[in-house]
Every structure is written in C-alpha cells, then in structure tokens.
Amino acid sequence: MNRRKFLSYMGCGCGTLLLSSCTTAPITERKQLKIVSEAKLNAQAAAIYEKIKEKEKMSDDTKTLNEIKEIGKKMENSISEYFYRAGIEDPTINFEWEYILIDRKKVRNAWCMPGGKIAVYTGILEATKNTDGLAAVMGHEIAHAVAKHSVERASRATLVNTGTQLIDIFSGGKLSQVNRTTGINTVGLITQLGLLNPFNRKQESEADYLGMIFSSLSGYDIRETVKIWERMKELNKGKEPPEFMSTHPSSDNRIKDLNEKMGGVILDYPPIEIS
C-alpha cells in the first residue's frame, strides 16, 4: 500500500473515531474528546488512591476531616439533585466518593481523582481560612471529576501519542533520532508547550466556573472564592511561572474571571433545597 493511500485510510478512520467520541462537558457544553474508558480510569484512580493512603501521613485533625466530609456530602447531594431536576444524566452516578486529609503543611493543594476520590493537604488550609473557602477549593476539584477532565486528558494524550508515532514513521524515524541525539523529549516539549497547556488552562477555568456553581448549589458563600485566590496570590508571590508556561491561569486572570462570572452564578444557581 502506498503512503498516500495509507494516510487517506488513517484520516478516515481517525475522523470516524473523533466524530463518535465527541461529547460535551456538563453545564458549560464545551465539546470534549473521550476515547478512553471512564470505568477503567476510575478503577486505576481508586487503586492509586489506596496506595497514597498507605504512603502519605494522614492528619489526626478529625474536626477538619469531618468538615471536609460534610462539605463533600452536601456537594454530592446537590450535584445529583441539580442534574436530576434538569433531566440530565448525573455524571457522578458511578462515583465512589471518599475523602482524606493529608498532613503536609508545606503543600497548598487539593485534588479529586476520577470517580470522586478526594484529598486535601493541610497546607491549603492557610489559604481557605474558613468553611466557605474550603468549599470553594473542594468545589473546584470536584468540578474536574464531574467534567471528566481526566478522561479528556487521557484521550487527548492517546491521540497525541498515536499522531506522533505516525509522524515518526513518515519522517523516516527523524523525530526519534532528534530525541536520541539531543537527549530531549521533543514530543514531550511540543505536547507541553504547544498543545496540552492551553487545553489545560481551559479545563482549569471551566473547573473554576463549575466549582462556583457547585458551591452555590450546596449553600456556600461563593464570594469567598475570589478571596482565596487573592490569598493564594500573596502566598505564592514571586513564585508563579508566566501564564503561557503554566497549566493554570495566572492569579490575576483567575480573579478577574471569577468576579465577572460570580453574579450570574448567584442568580442562576441558588442553593438547592433537598427534601
């Protein structure tokens, strides 16, 4: 088979794959590519979560852990109720929610794995300060899981890897040769700077917006969201990379965007009363 015909077949096959795998993110309706099994990713995440629980030091601050669990439960219920009332399939229906508090005072972070596995580090409590602040952070991390960002990233990575393999084949192995000669992962650099970072910033901004919605639906004061990022900006003063090199929006852009969207969220997504 000649090269032109092969490329033609590959293009048709990939086009069919893309068309059949395009979905939309909940609420924002942003188009997404999903070619990786969500169930498989959730299972992998759950296994990693168990290893993290074994290796990391869990905090003995039961009061804060209980607060995290209470916030989480409110969000679990309000998110499911919102989608039920909207007549939309609940994206969390297969989640197995779990919450841990990791004792690391120098780590100002939190995350939510696919399937609802959540971790909060004690270091971020310096920025959250209060229940509404903690809810804002958790809402943002839960939004990543609800919007299936990990599935989307894994799908995009799979597509990129397939694409770069084809480029290497049709460049006569020159891409691999460059990697061997320079010792630099050219594909990784292209992916990081030219493709995945702008895409990740979209996910982060989407998680900011959805996080505010979930916090509001759960009855928390989302005005605290901006205050958190103002505090984070102060705590990270001089340590933030330029936005074009980062997977996250800059603090200034984040604060501006949150302020612009806050009024609409308060009006359109008031607290949900669950009987």
CA-CA distance, 160 to 163, in Å (whole number)?
5
Q: Which DSSP string do the residues of 93-136 spell out, in sequence order?
A: TT---EEEEE--TT---EEEETTTEEEEEGGGHHHH-SHHHHHH
Q: Which candidate, 170, 115, 167, 173, places its Cα nearest to that of 141?
A: 115
Quick check: helix, strand or coil at residue 32?
strand
240 is known as an active-site residue: no
Is 215:266 a contact under the CB 8 Å cutoff?
no
Residue 70 CA to its chain's centroid (Å): 22
Is 45:114 a contact under the CB 8 Å cutoff?
yes
Q: Which of 50, 56, 96, 141 is catalytic?
A: 141
Assigned token pair, 270: 């008031």
Residues annotated catalytic, as ranges = 141
